[in-house]
Each structure stands twice: as structure tokens, then as C-alpha cells.
Structure 1
């Protein structure tokens, strides 16, 4: 089975520029391809993880990935999917974020012995001569055509800066540069990047008279069409300091039943026969599939040891034995005993604000040692700490432990 067939069967592929040619070169040649990552934060998130899985499948099939860090394009900002202009970052912030991305990517992609390349478009974008760039590259872009792109149309109604309007040209130029430097013939990306990818494919074909190809893959969305990877605390990050392995595991453990099979196919390396078997489970049995999903993704992202710890912590909380060793834990001073529970929850960052703690209590969603708290002025006295520990539950499945120093 070719890598094209693998990606197709697992549900990755959304759109292709030249389907028959792409099938043929992926089957018969060793292709150099690239995916771009704009370092706008100091960690990759779950949306990036899907792209890394595509890179991994391609690399396992013998193709060479280029992970392109957008040190230059991050200074402009991609208008795709945005309702407002992206926050402007400094060069220092972008460089720091790019270094964080590099360290994380090396866990998923083998960069040894030229098997993969990591590049940064700041190397060619930051020192461009503007007039020369317009004459050599801008001449190949039709403004009329650019205005038909979804990413541009959506923003035109709310206001699109000329700065952001340049993003498509810059991404197209990236592909051209990678083609010249490394023989890159294919760009991959999320389906929201379709217009930008076509721009690069056409630029190479017009300017260099060479074949170039583009392929987009499905976005990581729920069955209701909402982007996955969002929680009450924000994005689900791959950095364990920003999203703990336990919280990461629990996110996948608690996804909607309808999304289990899709996530198993896209985000794990389990054989598709097993994916389909697990995805077909119904009612209570689907929980077994969710446990497999959570374990497999956590193992890929955080390693086997952390996946085991997260699994044991979840089993301890949901009645399958074990202990609370790996449950997210906060420590407080004994001087806080006798304080309001709301204050302690805020002090330990279990809730983002005291108002949120009060809202939880009013809605019946806060439990201490499995007893519902109904009083927003409840005091955390010694009786709440059993052997110096308090187990806090928010809603049905989010647990934290507080320990007295």
C-alpha cells in the first residue's frame, strides 16, 4: 500500500492539485515536501500534531519532510480563519518560539542524516529587496484571483490590512525558495491553506516551468464542525508544562463518542482494522475505545512512561483501583486551613478566578471528597483534609488534589 493510499484510508486527504500525478510520484519516487509552521506561540498544539502525523507517515514511506518555521511570515500574520489581525510579535519572541517548536518536532520527525530538513523562512524573507521582489514575484500574482480566496473574502468585510494581504505571496515565495534550495516539489497543509498552497504551485510552474504539487488534509474538527483542541483553560498544548500529560490524556478520554474513530485514524498508528473495530463500539463499550485513544496519543506525544502514569491516575479516579499519585496536585500552607474554599481553589489555580469557583458551586458542579459543595462561603477546615489531602472534582471528570505542606 502506497503512502497516498494510507493517507486516503485514514481520512487525511481533503484536496489535491494534480491527483493522478501525485499518486504516481509518491508511489515511484522519493519526494521532498514541506509543511509550514508559524511560531506564534511557544508550543505546538493539537492542530499541529495532525500535521506532524502526516509528516511521520510520509517519512516512514521514504519521503523527505521539510519543517518550515515561519520566522518571516509570523511577522506578517496569516489572515486565514482570523476575524481580527494577529497580535504583532517581536523578532525575539518569534525566534524563541521557533526554538521551542524545533525541540518539540524532533520527538516526532527523524532529522538525522538528512532524513528531514528544518528551515526558517526568515533566512530569505527578512532581507528581500522590495522593488526587486515585486518585479520578480509580484508580477505573477493576480489581485482579482487573490480576492476570490476564502481567507481574503472573509476578512475583507471586517477589514484586511495590506500587510496581511501579502501573506499569500510570501507563502508562494517560500515554496519557490524551497524548490530551488532543496528540490521540494510538494506543499502540504490544512485545508484552510488551499488558496495559499495553490499560489505556490502556480508560481513554480509559471516561473520555473517545473512540476509542483499541493495537497491539503482535513482539519481536526468535531462531528459538529468545531475545532478540536480547546478546553476551558485554552488550547491543548504539546508542551507538558502548558498542558500536563494527565490533562492531555483526559482531553482525549472525554471526547464525544462520534469523534473516536476519526481521531484513532488520524492521531494514532493503530492498524485501520483495529481503528474500525474500536470505532464501531457502542454505548458503554465506546469508553474502552476512548481509553485506547487517550493512551496511544499520550504515548506518542509524551512517551510511554507518562502515558502509563496518566492511565493509572484516571483508573484511580474512576474506580478501577490504583492510587492518586499522578493526579494533578497542588500544595498549600497549613496556615490556609480555615480559609474559604473559594480562596484556596483560586490560590492553587484550580479555578482561573474566584467568580468561576462561585459559579461552579451555584451550578452544582463542585465536589470535595465526592461531596457536593452548595455554599459559596464554605470554609476549608481540617475535616475536608483526609490524611492531609483533599480531592476536588469540577463537573463529572476533572480532578485535582490539594495537599497540606
Structure 2
């Protein structure tokens, strides 16, 4: 009986994916014929990605204009979303040139995308980005293929969600091996769920799209030991910068009225780019100066966001947070306190010393807590992304409720 059920499940999944591909091929022809779908629209990005990869298009259960593009070959990442259908704004940053080239780059393949799965920590003795005994420098830094260039397998899918799985073995800088299964489910969120999560009674006349990624690591090998390291889940979202976009990181102040903020990852950030207010940190997201901030779990709130006052787009991210949990430290050095890292990070791209630049883009990132997993145990982390546009008054209420600041404060801080 179990065999029959499994065969039936595979058969129906095949039918669903075949239907998706046929629909996507039909949509691709429409995109190619519709000259109104210019760069910057969801339809343009959908047409572009279909030329290079098989894609899944997810739609919110109660809003046909709320859509997301997910690519299994890019580790199940959410490439972009929209709240306005094919002609609506496309919110995610996409690296068109890299995707068109088909190249497999050294160090990292930065395809873009609003929500991608990574491991933490990036640096330190427990990093899986540097081989054993290697120096912590760019030449030695390598994103593991399992989360960079290898596809994730599709386990199941429907019109609003898709589940992925990936088996991998990783070894950290100290020589500890991890036998893992990654599971990742991306699901579109309906209106009632959005209101419930944000604790708002109405969304007014805003156009909105929202989704969540539920990410798991399952330990298939030996029990983890604190002294030999662990692996955390790190979710990163890449978005389009502008001169009028500002990142907002709300905080609490458990220590002497100041947030536990790290802002010198790439040197001191000038005052005209970073402002610490009474209850939020503001960082310019113009893609013109490389800078990064991080909030420790004790100061984070489980929310962050950005506002583009030029286009009138409010973006919110919500993530699992354990204020008393251990979080991996990611700076490129041996750590005395490897479990005192950030729960939230935000990054603004900019030119490197040689003048080259990967983007421009900006990132909103969250990390999971870490604890010693026994064999068969699971670590889980949920990260949600919301985009709003259209009704400025309603968006202002949402920003005040979730981020603790008004749209006016965000627009005028720099």
C-alpha cells in the first residue's frame, strides 16, 4: 500500500509540474509579445528567468496579483515577487549578467533573489566557507556548492507553496563534519494571515504581497558538540537600492540604553549613512557604499524593513528570534566567543577597492539560533517578507506598528 501511495504522489507531482511548465511556456509567449512589460516589472523578470531556468510561479490564495518566482536550481530561492501581477513592480534584485552567462563562478554565484538559504557562520573556527587551517581571506573564501551552485530537489508543490530537500555533508574550519538534510518550504501568505502576523486590523487600499520560508536542518550524523561547532540557518534577501531607500532596524535597549549594534564590519560607517535613533537604526540603501550592520539577539525585535520613498514601497521582514539563544559569529577571524553573533544583519552594496561591484543591491538578513543537535534532531528557522505600496496612510500605520517609526521619519532621516 505504501508503495502505491508513493507512486501516486510522484504521479500527481509530475502532473502538477507539467501543468506549471505548460502554463509558464504560455506565459512566456505572452511576455515576449507584450511590449508593456519593461525592465523592472514582474512580467519582464518572469520572461527573463524562463529563458534560462525552470521556474515555479506561486500565487497567494486570495490575491492573483500577489506572486513569487521560485527556482529549484538556485537552491529553492525566491527570486522576486510582486503585488501587481505581470505589470507590477518586481521587488527582488536579479543578477541578469551572471544568469545570462551560465558561468559557475569561484567564491560565490550571486544570482540575486529575495530569500536564499545559507549556513552560518561565515567566518571563524566553525565556518564551512573556509577549509581546515586556511587563512581568512577572500582568496580562500568559498560558498559551499550545496547552497550556491547545486539544485535543491522538489518534494511537493501546489499553486501557493513548494517544498525542497537537499542532502549534504559539510566540514568546518576546525575539521568537524556535518551530515545534513536541508528542508525548505516557501509559501505565499493570504490577507488574513498577513494581518494576523503584523497585528493590524486592516490593510486598507494597499497592494501587498507576502510569503514565508520555513527552513530546517536535520542532523543525520553524530551528535553535535558545542566545543567543535554547529551550523545555523542564515536567510538573506537581496533588493533593489535607490537614493531614496533607507533600511530600518528596530531595537530594544537592554544594556545602558544602547543597542548591541555592530557597524564596523567594513570600517566605520559615516554619520551621513548611519543614524541610531531612539528605537531604530537607519542605514542608507543606495548601493553606493559598502556597509553592514548587525543586531545581537538581545537587542533585535524580530522585525526589520526598508522604505523607498521615491517609489512608495515599504518592505518588512519578520523572523524567528530567541533573545536568550546562541547565535554564530561570522567575522573572518578566530573567535573567543563564537556563539555571540548577530540575529539580524543589513547590508548596503558598494564598489570594492578596485572599483568593481557585484550589485548594486541591499540585503535584509536573519539568522537562526544554534544548539547542539543530536542525531535525528532538527533546527528550524522561519523568515517572512512583506511588500506594500499604494496606500501611504496605511503603510505609515504599518511602519509605526511594526518598525516603531513613521514613513516621514524614515524619509527625512538623511
TM-score category by the smaller chain? under 0.3
Instruction: Write 1 or 2 for the structure with the bigger share of helix.
Output: 1
Larger Rg: 1
Instruction: Write 1 or 2 for the structure with the bigger share of strand.
Output: 2
Higher relative contact order by CA 8 Å / sep ≥ 6: 1 or 2? 2
Q: TM-score, normalised by structure 1?
A: 0.23
